Structure 1
Amino acid sequence: MDDIVTHSLRLHADPSRVVVRPFHIGWQSNGGAQSRSERLVREVLDLSPQDARAQLDAVLKDFEARHWQTRRVFMTRYDEIEAQLKLDGAAISDEKRQLIGAYFCHEYSYAAAALMNPSAVPHFDQTGMAEGCTRVILSMRAVGEGHISSVAFREGIITAKNQLRLAPEPPFATAADAAEEELQAPEGPVTVHRHRDSTLSGTVIFPITKAQSNGLEDLRLVQFTHRDGSIEWLGTYTAYNGSVIQSEMMRTRDFRAFDLVPMTGSAARNKGMALFPRRIGDHYMMIGRQDGENLFLIKSDSLTHWDEGTKLLEPRYPWEFVQIGNCGPPIELDEGWLLLTHGVGAMRKYSIGAVLLDKDDPSKVLGRTNRPILAAKDQDREGYVPNVVYSCGALRHGGSIFIPYGIADSSIAFAFARIDALLRMM
């Protein structure tokens, strides 16, 4: 499509991006987790002061320059262990407390394998923006050891001339913290917190619960406006435990505290759910793919309970004969709801198209592109899964749609499409 402009900027996997994460010995055990943790603490407490100091010095020599406030991280982790095992911290030296904390941590390269499947929303802070400029937040699926997915963020600015300027990546990344159970992985809703001194661009949200243990996949963020005018950032994602998927919702009002909430209902057993940015009539609405092939419109009275919907779109054109899905939440225009879609064609090649839905009744399809607006070609073909282009959410910027998209399940690229040109294609 001639009216789409792709940028040369690419974001790639980077094994040097590491964080310190809690090492939950109890989660690794088939039994005896308490005794195993107690044994490890006892081994450290039995060290002589000189040996403990030497061991801590060796750990700090290896890791202190690679992480932000490493000693404080170790002490924070020790405090969690102390509370769990009811230790007498007053009788334990600072060196041994830091060393105990170190034994219950590990280093994790969160984006060693891939960065992919981004979404974009307006930033919560638009102060100081020049006319025509928008500060944005990108969410990204970061894939690390064991092909486990986490959520990473990047802040940036889109200029009046459709230039993207990303904020510098901080030298250290930090994992969002949760009050976690030490002996077994928690279940149900959890809340994680960005460290008070960490930037959003340096924050990573990792799987916490049993349902999430093998990954938080494909976050579709949207800036949601409630009926009282308040703003909340909501994002649906797929929780994966290695065998079963479950749709969940991330909720935040300040990007400091993040609620990770399992969704219920028959539709929540599927992946790829995308929330409209406000209620329509009396209902919340989602676009989902319940049968692995077609797109459905789903309505609910609750943000976290979703039952079966009605079929909205099915594959029509050769580039989407295999299946179709959404590429993130619908975008509100004067003309209706603009929904970006992905289609899978011959040789499992992915392409991105667009659909226009009626603003008052999104079950009515007003228009549809008969050819892709973006497709896997040239440098966008090669990677972990070749011939894939995929987005989890675009946003409107003036007369254009800003589209961050994943390439070959490996890296991230960016494009702008003129709205008038998209509508003319339908």
Structure 2
Amino acid sequence: MKVSVTRKSIKFLPDSSRVVARYFMNGELRTKELISRILVMSDLEVKNVLEQINREFARRHRNLSAIFHRHYECVLPIIAEMKINEDELSEERKWLIGSYLTMEYSIESAAFFNPSIIEDFDQSGLEKGEKRIIISFRATGEGHVSSIVFRRGIIDKDNNLRIMRSGDSIEKAEVLHKMMFNKKRILSKLAEMHTMDIYSTLLNDLPDEFEYSVFKGLLTAELESPNISKEKQEAFEEVLWLMNSFYDIQFKHDSDISERVIFPISDTESRGIEDARFVRFVDDDGSETVMGTYTAYNGHSILSKVITTEDFYTFRVMPMHGEESQSKGMALFPKKINGKYVMLGRIDGVNNYLMYSLRLNQWKNPQIIQRPVYPWEFTQIGNCGSPLWTEKGWLVITHGVGAMRRYCIGASLLDLDDPSIEIGRLPEPLLTPLEDEREGYVPNVVYSCGSIIHNNNLILPYAVSDYSSTYAVVDMEELLEALLESKK
């Protein structure tokens, strides 16, 4: 049975005008020379130059002076090394130094793709048949650095999407690092990463629960030792790298959701935050939390992370544990099954796996539930976001890769009580790249990171060749009928 798909005409395109103020430091020597030049300026010169900078850039960023001060504080060690009495520097001079340590970065100039959609917490004030939604996107700028951005909109009774106007500025979050750590879990995580044993000598002297500041003090003392070996230095830096990957981020409450960007923060994601898959998770007690998974990339290795929020202002970020979690494409089920969290993942890069866990960020013992069967998915099969509950089973939107590395979107149905059982799988893709969808940063790709069901229709946002995004609508009755018939 052929399932009809209605592609909508709306396009989400890259927008080079969307910029953030990013820290920029061009080497220690050049920074010292720069600071020296600013120090010899008169107070009047400092004031005039700063006024000119504010005149040209203040309307593009919220609270620009606070950004400048934050970037100035990044070079306090250099200020101290230059034997400059910081107390004698005026706020204006500090801001001016910070302005030279700032650059604008266009977060979505290259691509705006891999969308994920969830129902908004607030469904008030809507007409019958309408639903307020939040869509996340992977925004990519210069150097292919990716971040997470959001848009809010309303889907009407006819499945037409109306997106709210984006805010005028973009805000990066304040970072709040986790303060307390469990030694056993840190050691377990380092063992999973196949790191060296040297770090254990440092951690053994710490209590079972220890503060970040205490550990950092010990680590700093070790790293400053003139006799430290390169091997030991690398091992200790790896421990710090891991611990810095736990953090909370906080956005100001006067920002619109379209102005909030989750930009790479820790070293583990310095080259990008990729393919966030968000889901409205309902716990056993009925409480709801937005949970997501994403891939952190530092240019050499990946680290799967979990991100949670209850209001889209405060987010908690933590790395996943378990060797089997160190892969791309992790997608969380929207509720527990038999008291456990459940996750899909493409552990070996080819097949779809299922995992259970009592802990949200610890995943082990995966089992293969889907292998490539049809020619359009012979290279690999994976998920396109979190499964959707239906009375007939868990609806899993999948991606398949075939000849010429063409990505298509398909669908499968898994048993509600035992998702390792595949009830049905479409033999043909739901979506293949149309002729006008084949060109982009990565040609011949349609891909999604999450969908929802609205008015008995599947609302499926998808990316077009890793460049832009749009969405499609599929009748659920027709889709489920085709899936159930596929196994007869």
TM superposition score normalised by structure 2: 0.80
CA contact (8 A) 2:4 2:474 kept: yes
CA contact (8 A) 1:327 1:342 kept: yes
More helix per residue: 2
**1:176 is aligned to 2:170:** no
In structure 2, what is the Cα distance between the partners aligned to 1:405 and 1:257? 27
- Residues 90-239 of structure 1 correspond to what in structure 2 (within 5 A)? 91-179=88-176, 187-239=244-296
Match of 1:368 in 2: 425
CA contact (8 A) 2:264 2:271 kept: yes
How far apart are residue 21 of structure 1 and its match? 2.2
CA contact (8 A) 1:138 1:153 kept: yes
**Structure 1 residue aligned with 2:60, among 58, 66, 69?**
66
SS of equivalent residue, structure 2 residue 479: helix
CA contact (8 A) 2:79 2:86 kept: no
**Structure 2 residue aligned with 1:296, among 328, 353, 358?**
353
In structure 1, what is the Cα distance between the partners aligned to 2:390 and 2:85? 61
CA contact (8 A) 1:82 1:88 kept: no
Deviates more, 1:296-305 or 1:57-66: 57-66
CA contact (8 A) 2:3 2:482 kept: no
Match of 2:458 in 1: 401
Superimposed CA distance per residue, residues 35-85 of structure 1 (whole angstroms, 9 cap, x where no aligned partner): 987775565344211221232133224423333343443345557767997
In structure 1, what is the Cα distance between the partners aligned to 2:396 and 2:303? 23
Match of 1:425 in 2: 482
SS of equivalent residue, structure 2 residue 162: strand
In structure 2, what is the Cα distance between the partners aligned to 1:85 and 1:132? 60
Match of 1:22 in 2: 23
**Structure 1 residue aligned with 2:399, among 342, 348, 353?**
342
In structure 2, what is the Cα distance between the partners aligned to 1:397 and 1:404? 13
CA contact (8 A) 2:32 2:78 kept: no
Q: How many residues align?
A: 418
TM superposition score normalised by structure 1: 0.91
Letter of the 2:7 counterpart:
T
In structure 1, what is the Cα distance between the partners aligned to 2:360 and 2:116? 20
CA contact (8 A) 2:3 2:479 kept: no
Match of 2:5 in 1: 4
Match of 1:333 in 2: 390
CA contact (8 A) 1:289 1:296 kept: yes
In structure 2, what is the Cα distance between the partners aligned to 1:286 and 1:84? 46
Letter of the 2:17 counterpart:
S
Superimposed CA distance per residue, residues 370-404 of structure 1 (whole angstroms, 9 cap, x where no aligned partner): 11111111221111111100000001112011111
In structure 1, what is the Cα distance between the partners aligned to 2:436 and 2:172? 32
CA contact (8 A) 1:391 1:405 kept: yes
The CA RMSD over aligned residues, in Å, is 2.5
How far apart are residue 88 of structure 1 and its match? 7.5
Identity of matched residues, %:
41
Letter of the 2:252 counterpart:
H
Superimposed CA distance per residue, residues 95-118 of structure 1 (whole angstroms, 9 cap, x where no aligned partner): 223213323322110001101101
**1:275 is aligned to 2:272:** no
Deviates more, 1:8-17 or 1:40-49: 40-49
Match of 2:14 in 1: 13
Letter of the 1:13 counterpart:
P
Superimposed CA distance per residue, residues 298-324 of structure 1 (whole angstroms, 9 cap, x where no aligned partner): 111110011131110011111111111
Specify the structure having the higher radius of gyration (Cα).
Answer: 2
Q: How has the CA–CA distance of structure 1 residues 253 and 10 changed in structure 2, closer, same or farther, with 3 Å as cutoff?
A: same
Match of 1:311 in 2: 368
Superimposed CA distance per residue, residues 185-234 of structure 1 (whole angstroms, 9 cap, x where no aligned partner): 87220111113321111111111111111100000001111122111111
**Structure 1 residue aligned with 2:316, among 253, 259, 263?**
259
CA contact (8 A) 1:266 1:308 kept: no
CA contact (8 A) 1:21 1:175 kept: no
Q: How has the CA–CA distance of structure 1 residues 85 and 277 changed in structure 2, closer, same or farther, with 3 Å as cutoff?
A: farther
In structure 2, what is the Cα distance between the partners aligned to 1:397 and 1:373? 18
Q: How has the CA–CA distance of structure 1 residues 103 and 308 changed in structure 2, closer, same or farther, with 3 Å as cutoff?
A: farther
Letter of the 1:119 counterpart:
S
CA contact (8 A) 2:3 2:478 kept: no
Gaps of 5+ in 2: 178-212, 214-219, 221-239, 484-488
How far apart are residue 254 of structure 1 and its match? 1.0
Match of 2:42 in 1: 48
Letter of the 1:16 counterpart:
S
In structure 1, what is the Cα distance between the partners aligned to 2:434 and 2:137? 22
SS of equivalent residue, structure 2 residue 57: helix
CA contact (8 A) 1:370 1:425 kept: no
Gaps of 5+ in 1: none
- Residues 241-252 of structure 1 correspond to what in structure 2 (within 5 A)? 241-252=298-309
In structure 2, what is the Cα distance between the partners aligned to 1:46 and 1:131? 66
Letter of the 1:242 counterpart:
G
Letter of the 1:56 counterpart:
L
